[in-house]
């Protein structure tokens, strides 16, 4: 079994070009089994001023992560090379030269690939050699079995320029990669470019069952003393035993003739040796018996709870297809019990196996998924200072409004192609935005404007106070808080009718606390008190969430449309998005730290993504 230690060095970010290092070990057992522990270094000599180098590097690493860990059906050897090729080809038209070197350790096999000029080298048994030396427009790969004390270097082309084998050997003289990194850092400080990066990996054999360091330290400290102590106790025991037997057993007289030494017959010496061995075995077996009894006593304290947890776990699986809500409740009880036993310090193979099985089934049964939010796109790279306030989605395009800079940006979700579709020349005092097909409508102080190719007022203001805007099926809908009314403006080839009441006659409601609406045929309304109301054909419909755990107490936003099967609710306090079907039944929930920073979000079930807007960046969570 091999253990990896690593050190990372990158160039000065104030210099032209930049580099970043990456280290990711999946928590998901299936991902780890298929893709292993990944290390990578990226670099580019791009020198544009004002570029957010950290964000740019994160975007490239995110794409590498998606390509490598997102296709588990491929072999790791082919997938690593393919991921690097795809990322380099995708970013090179924009970024110019992109270098990526990466390695992954899976079942003690190293898979490596390098592209764009990056290199991979190895230091083994005093010898230093290059494994991979890629060229500008190619990706090379290799695989092999690392040996004990091997040291691997994956670095950018600039890192290896001027670096002699002797200098590297000297830096590794003591075999300590931390000290080597300090030595190499002095070398990097002399570089005048920022595209210098390296990841150094050292492989050590690790005892599968006993931690090497702690055993050695214990042995040096106590072994001699312990052996001496045991020897003294056994000698004392035999002395007492001999004295006792001497007193109780009849003595035979032994006569010595002349100067002959007294000798015991060979058979008697053998008998005494065998007896001593049997006695020692008896003492050892008694010790093991005492230890086993202690373990059995401890096991009795948790065995009943462990058995109960296992039975509930199996029951939840069989019940899930029939009564999912009940199954989730039983599963949670079993999961909590098993984790409580583990927290008590219990070491039991059956417990470990149960927890492993439950963690694999947790997402399926509980519908709970903990996610890392992946950078989808950095909007500030498209427009300097851009910070989005809200989103609107239509026909595969996402529209993002920045009220402060008076800009609307469009983003094609499938290709990530972005462009500024409206700027200050067409936007004045904008409050809200909605989109229908390719038409972008803005709510301003004096009415509603279409701003596709020019600024064109389509609806004159005929309302007081705060209103909420939404487009659906070619029509415009306005919720007017002061009048507790929803108005509909029917669209006809780019023009709109006079407003008409959408609520059914006699319906009375309070819209003073409404903060968001969405339309999928029915109109959904979120209030600042955290309540979602549903109206169908102008009439209120009873709608109350059920099945979620923990219960929703804070609703910050929600999202649905006519193409979605579900309703998605954002709870920023708990850093989660909770999914319900449109009958209010719990489906699943997604946890991610980035949710707490989101200003708005949208969902596409077709693409299998949740998109979070945090201002100048969009992040994605996979459904």
Q: What is the pLDDT of residues 466-475, one digit of tens each?
A: 999 999 999 9
Interval 293-304: pLDDT, tens: 665 656 677 888
Residues 341, 474: one domain? no
Query: For residues 559 and 577, what is the distance between their CA atoms, to the nearest angstrom?
Result: 10
Q: Within its chain, how far is the Cα of 497 from the centroid?
A: 50
Q: Are strands 374-378 and 390-394 parallel, antiparallel or unpaired?
A: unpaired
Q: Taking the CB of residue 319, how many other CB atoms lie within 10 A of it?
A: 18
The gap between the terminal CA atoms of the chain, to the nearest Å, is: 35
Do residues 231 and 175 touch, judged by C-beta distance below 8 A? no
Q: Is residue 117 part of a domain?
A: yes
Q: What is the 3-state secondary structure (H, E, C) of 517-558?
A: EEECCCEEEEECCCCEEEEECCEEECCCCECCCCCCCCCCEE
Q: In the listed set 205, 221, 256, which residue is the last one of a domain according to the structure? A: 205
Mean pLDDT, residues 158-172 taken together: 76
Q: Give phi and psi for 516, each to the nearest 5.
A: -160, 145
Do the beta carbons of residue 566 and residue 518 sit within 8 Å?
no
Give me the helix-helix angle, 349-366 and 324-343, nearest 10°: 150
My answer on whether 508 and 541 are in the same domain is yes
Same domain, 407 and 352: no
What are the φ and ψ backbone dihedral angles of 203, each rounded to 5 degrees? -110, 130
Distance CA 134, CA 120 (A): 9
Residue 168 is part of which domain span? 2-205
**Same domain flag for 405 and 452:** yes
Q: What is the pLDDT of the chain when averaged over all its residues?
A: 83
3-state secondary structure of 437: coil
Distance CA 204, CA 199 (A): 17
Asked if the bond preceding 198 is cis, omega within 30° of 0, the reply is: no
Q: Establish if 110 belongs to a structural domain.
A: yes
**pLDDT at 146 exceeding the cut of 90:** no
Segment 397-435, tens digit of pLDDT: 999 999 999 999 999 998 989 899 999 999 988 999 999
Please count the structural domains in the chain. Answer: 3
Same-domain pairing of 378 and 346? no
Same domain for 327 and 475, yes or no, is no
- In this structure, is residue 618 part of a structural domain? yes
Q: Return phi, psi of residue 259, to 5°.
A: -100, 15
Residue where a domain terminates, one of 205, 230, 256: 205
Higher pLDDT, 246 or 321: 321
- Residues 507-546 pLDDT 10s: 999 999 999 999 999 999 999 888 999 999 999 999 898 8
Q: What sign for the dihedral angle of Cα 344, 349, 352, 357?
A: negative
Q: Give the separation between CA 616 and CA 375, rounded to whole angstroms.
A: 11
Among 281, 332, 278, 279, which residue's Cα sits nearest to residue 309? 332
Least confident of 70-84, 163-177, 419-433, 543-557: 163-177
Distance CA 162, CA 207 (A): 39
């Amino acid at each position: 079994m091999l253990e990896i230690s690593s050190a990372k060095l990158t160039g000065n970010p104030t210099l032209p070009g930049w580099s970043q290092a990456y280290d990711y070990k999946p928590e998901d057992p299936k991902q780890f089994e298929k893709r292993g522990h990944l290390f990578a270094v990226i670099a580019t000599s791009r020198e544009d001023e004002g570029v957010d180098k950290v964000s740019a590097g994160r975007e490239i690493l995110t794409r590498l992560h998606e390509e490598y860990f997102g296709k588990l059906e491929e072999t790791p050897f082919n997938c690593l090379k393919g991921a690097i090729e795809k990322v380099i080809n995708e970013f090179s038209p924009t970024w110019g030269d992109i270098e990526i070197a990466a390695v992954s350790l899976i079942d003690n096999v190293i898979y490596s690939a390098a592209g764009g000029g990056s290199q991979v080298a190895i230091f083994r048994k005093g010898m230093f050699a290059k494994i991979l030396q890629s060229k500008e427009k190619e990706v090379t790969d290799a695989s092999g079995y690392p040996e004990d004390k091997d040291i691997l270097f994956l670095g950018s082309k600039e890192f290896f320029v001027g670096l002699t084998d002797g200098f590297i050997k000297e830096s590794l003289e003591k075999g300590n990669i931390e000290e080597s990194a300090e030595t190499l850092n002095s070398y990097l400080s002399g570089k005048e470019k920022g595209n210098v990066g390296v990841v150094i990996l050292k492989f050590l054999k690790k005892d599968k069952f006993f931690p090497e360091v702690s055993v050695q330290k214990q042995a040096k400290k106590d072994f001699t003393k312990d052996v001496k102590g045991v020897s003294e106790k056994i000698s004392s025991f035999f002395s007492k035993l001999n004295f006792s037997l001497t007193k109780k057993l009849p003595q035979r007289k032994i006569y010595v003739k002349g100067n002959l030494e007294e000798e015991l017959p060979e058979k008697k010496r053998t008998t005494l040796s065998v007896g001593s061995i049997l006695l020692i075995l008896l003492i050892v077996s008694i010790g093991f018996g005492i230890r086993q009894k202690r373990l059995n006593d401890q096991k009795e304290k948790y065995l009943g709870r462990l058995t109960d947890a296992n039975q509930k776990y199996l029951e939840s699986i069989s019940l899930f297809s029939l009564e999912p809500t009940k199954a989730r409740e039983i599963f949670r009880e079993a999961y909590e019990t098993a984790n409580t036993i583990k927290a008590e310090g219990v070491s039991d193979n059956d417990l470990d196996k149960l927890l492993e099985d439950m963690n694999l089934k947790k997402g399926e049964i509980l519908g709970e998924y903990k996610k890392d939010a992946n950078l989808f796109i950095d909007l500030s790279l498209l427009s300097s200072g851009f910070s989005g306030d809200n989103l609107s989605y239509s026909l595969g395009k996402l529209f993002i409004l920045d009220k402060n800079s008076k800009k609307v940006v469009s983003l094609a979700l499938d290709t990530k192609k972005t462009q500024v579709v409206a700027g200050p020349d067409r936007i004045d005092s904008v409050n809200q935005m909605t989109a229908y097909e390719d038409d972008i409508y803005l709510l301003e102080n004096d009415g509603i404007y279409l701003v596709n190719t020019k600024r064109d007022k389509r609806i004159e203001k005929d309302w007081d106070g705060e209103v909420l805007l939404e487009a659906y099926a070619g029509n415009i809908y306005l919720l007017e808080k002061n009048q507790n009314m929803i108005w509909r403006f029917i669209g006809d080839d780019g023009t709109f009718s006079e407003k008409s009441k959408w609520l059914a006659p006699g319906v009375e409601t309070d819209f003073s606390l409404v903060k968001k609406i969405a339309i999928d045929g029915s109109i959904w309304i979120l209030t600042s008190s955290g309540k979602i109301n549903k109206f169908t054909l102008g009439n209120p419909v009873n709608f109350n969430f059920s099945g979620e755990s923990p219960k929703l107490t804070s609703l910050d936003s929600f999202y649905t449309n006519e193409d979605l099967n579900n309703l998605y609710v954002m709870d920023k306090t708990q850093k989660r998005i909770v999914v319900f079907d449109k009958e209010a039944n719990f489906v699943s929930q997604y946890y991610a730290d980035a949710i707490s920073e989101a200003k708005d979000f949208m969902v596409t079930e077709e693409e299998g993504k949740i998109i979070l807007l945090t201002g100048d960046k969009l992040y994605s969570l996979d459904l």
